[in-house]
Amino acid sequence: MGGYKVWSKRIGQASASGRWPVVLLHGGPGVPSDYLEPLERLAESGREVILYDQLGCGRSDHPDDPALLQVNRFVEELASLRKALSLETIHLYGQSWGGMLALEVALSDAQGVNSLILSNAPSSMPLWVEETARLRQELPVEVRIRLDQHENANTTDSEEYQEAMMVFYRRHVCRLDQWPDCLMRSFSSMEADPRVYRAMCGKSEFNVTGSLRDWDRSDRLHLIQQPTLVISGQYDEATPKVAGALHQGIAHSEWELMADCSHLCHLEQTERYLERVNTFLDKVESNQPAPC
């Protein structure tokens, strides 16, 4: 698209007609798709799985042009990918920012998007910021002090600030004692080139100053017609208030609140997560009219 190359990967193939491909949208923005690797196992249920790295991160091109880092361009990017791979009818999965992007795609009246899976995603960035600020206030006092000191001094790249952020991450992003290699690869890649994250989000979870700062689609959720599965974790930074607002706004939605999980439920409880997603996909496909 626009002369830039976007990396993609296809896994599996349909075992029968009516088994639609699942397209995976990663989060960040700017965190490449490696950490979604466990979801490649959705192909074991007889559906093709497609993942890709959005422009500016991972194995895709990294143009030095902030004007490209706009929500509409990422909607167009997915449309171009679908056309190139002949993906006429799909299930669309989005995790975190990927869920925000999936909402944008659905609200753009894209054809052939027959279901949505919105995992750990908000419908309103102002609500997200409000809730992460509340979670921050629950951190130990000494951690909050370090965060404040470095944010005030504009030293958020310092090791001490990152260590303080890790306290938040281990509570609300990934609660596993040992983070899997796929997650570490994604984070390492983003740290090597954080331009997308900083342009669209900001310097940290708590300082949303980028182009998504005022993003809010809560007043348009009623327009979404696709059957939708909302997934979130008990300790998620996409808190029950955030996920609940998404679920309540979409008429044809189900909500799975996963106990003992945070923002990366698919890594923390992979088997249970895959089972829930496959159950939803089976239900959606079984409710489609039989071909003539």
Could you tell me the pLDDT band of residue 60, with boundaries at 50, 70 and 90?
Answer: very high
Could you tell me the pLDDT band of residue 109, with boundaries at 50, 70 and 90?
Answer: confident
At 269, list the tokens. 């409880």
Could you tell me the pLDDT band of residue 156, with boundaries at 50, 70 and 90?
Answer: confident
Mean pLDDT of the chain: 94
8 A C-beta contact, residue 257 and residue 233: yes
Which residue type, as a one-letter code, is found at position 40? E
259 burial level (CB within 10 Å; 0-12, 13-18, 19+): exposed
Could you tell me the pLDDT band of residue 292, with boundaries at 50, 70 and 90?
Answer: very low
Q: Which residue, 247, 238, 254, 234, is CA-closest to 205?
A: 238
Quote the pLDDT of residue 19.
92
Neighbouring CB atoms inside 10 A of 246's CB total 25
Task: Give the max Cα distance, the chain.
Answer: 66
Catalytic (active-site) positions: 96, 236, 263
Could you tell me the pLDDT band of residue 291, with boundaries at 50, 70 and 90?
Answer: very low
Query: How do beta strands 49-52 and 22-25 pair?
Result: parallel
**pTM for the whole structure:** 0.95
Quote the pLDDT of residue 203.
81
Residue 26 Ramachandran class (φ > 0 left, ψ -120 to 50 alpha, else beta): beta
DSSP string, 68-85: G--HHHHHHHHHHHHHHH
